[in-house]
Amino acid sequence: MFLTLPTLLTWARIVAIPLIVGVFYLPFDRATCNLIATVMFVVFALTDWLDGWLARRLNQTSSFGAFLDPVADKFLVCASLLVLVDLDRVDVFVALIIIGREIAISALREWMAQIGASRSVAVHMLGKLKTAAQMTAIPFLLYDGAVLRVVDTRLWGTALIWIAAVLTVWSMAYYLRKALPEIRAKVR
């Protein structure tokens, strides 16, 4: 199931990474680069919802798609955060928290799956809220301007990315707490 429409949409998020990064090397003014990167990020982020919906609707769910989907999301978020750190729009501490959590929880989930306890680290509402905060903050920070001359996207994006960082730590603590009984049982 490597080439179903839902899987191709997931692959598109991975392909988007160098495109979003590359926008900032184009010979355009900063505002134009910001707008292009923002639109690209939003379009590719929306494929996360669309690929899941299509997979269920077309009965094309697969274990490969279930594996690739969160990987693509993490790549897109982490690459965008690195771009934003480079542009001095995100504090490196925030990026380290978010990227570090993604690596730690991915490793935890892999280990829990190997010991047959993946249910203990199933996706929780905290993780979904964290993702929503990130996916809203990143385009605001990529745009870095005033929408309708009223909404300061850097201000709102910065507030949201810090909220995402707090939710990141909170959700990581939640997942670790849920996994701890299984970890203790296997370590003994």
- The residues, ordered by sequence, that sit 6+ positions from 144 with a Cβ below 8 Å of its Cβ are 30, 34, 87, 89, 153, 154, 157
- The residues, ordered by sequence, that sit 6+ positions from 110 with a Cβ below 8 Å of its Cβ are none
Nearest to 153 by CA among 42, 17, 21: 42
Q: Using CB atoms within 10 A of its CB, is residue 14 exposed (0-12), middle (13-18) or buried (19+)?
A: middle
pTM comes to 0.88
E strand spans, 71-180: 146-147, 151-152
Given this model, what pLDDT does residue 95 score? Answer: 97
Given this model, what pLDDT does residue 54 score? Answer: 87
Contact yes or no for 119/98 (Cβ under 8 A): no
Nearest to 10 by CA among 40, 61, 52: 52
Scan for tokens 């959590």, then name that residue.
Answer: 101
Given this model, what pLDDT does residue 170 score? Answer: 93
Given this model, what pLDDT does residue 1 score? Answer: 57
| Neighbouring C-alpha atoms within 13 Å toward the C-beta of 34 | 17
Rounded to whole angstroms, how far apart are CA atoms 111 and 104?
11
Q: How confident is the model over 43-59, as pLDDT tens digits? A: 999 988 888 888 889 88
Which residues of the chain register pLDDT less than 50?
none
Given this model, what pLDDT does residue 188 score? Answer: 66
